[in-house]
Amino acid sequence: MASAESITYGALKQLAGGRVYPDVAPATVLKPYLVYQSVGGVDETTFDGADALQNSRMQVSVWSNSRSEAATIIQQVRAALTAEPVRGVPIGAPVSVYEDDTKLYGSQQDFSIWYQE
């Protein structure tokens, strides 16, 4: 059965040296790495009941030791999630972040992913 998580992982698994994780990465993971999570979406339930067509808003975050590497990888994420067969739609532009505790540079972007359940 398809899910937004499995579709997202399938599209991104070759990026960042294969270091792609749901929700949170292991504490000792090499950089760069990606994390993804569902942060909402569109509910297509009608009076007839739930539809097999589902939507999820997937947030992807890139974490790196350098700003330029994070920016490059988020563009690779965008290319992978907007291409066939995913055809995700970006929701806004990438957002740059810096995590003071870990000293990591990040870039985050949300995508609308439609799929058949």
Closest CA to 110 of 54, 43, 40, 50: 40
At 1-28, the pLDDT tens digits run 688 999 999 999 999 999 999 999 998 9
Are residues 41 and 55 in contact, defined by beta-carbon separation less than 8 angstroms?
yes
Are residues 48 and 67 in contact, defined by beta-carbon separation less than 8 angstroms?
no
Are residues 41 and 3 in contact, defined by beta-carbon separation less than 8 angstroms?
no
Phi–psi pair at 63, nearest 5 degrees: -125, 130
At 28-45, the pLDDT tens digits run 999 999 999 999 877 766
Residue 46 has pLDDT above 80, yes or no: no
Stretch 44-50: mean pLDDT, rounded? 62
Q: What is the CATH number of the domain that holds 93?
A: 3.30.2000.30
Are residues 82 and 109 in contact, defined by beta-carbon separation less than 8 angstroms?
no
Identify the domain containing residue 36 by its residue range.
Answer: 4-116
Number of domains in the chain: 1
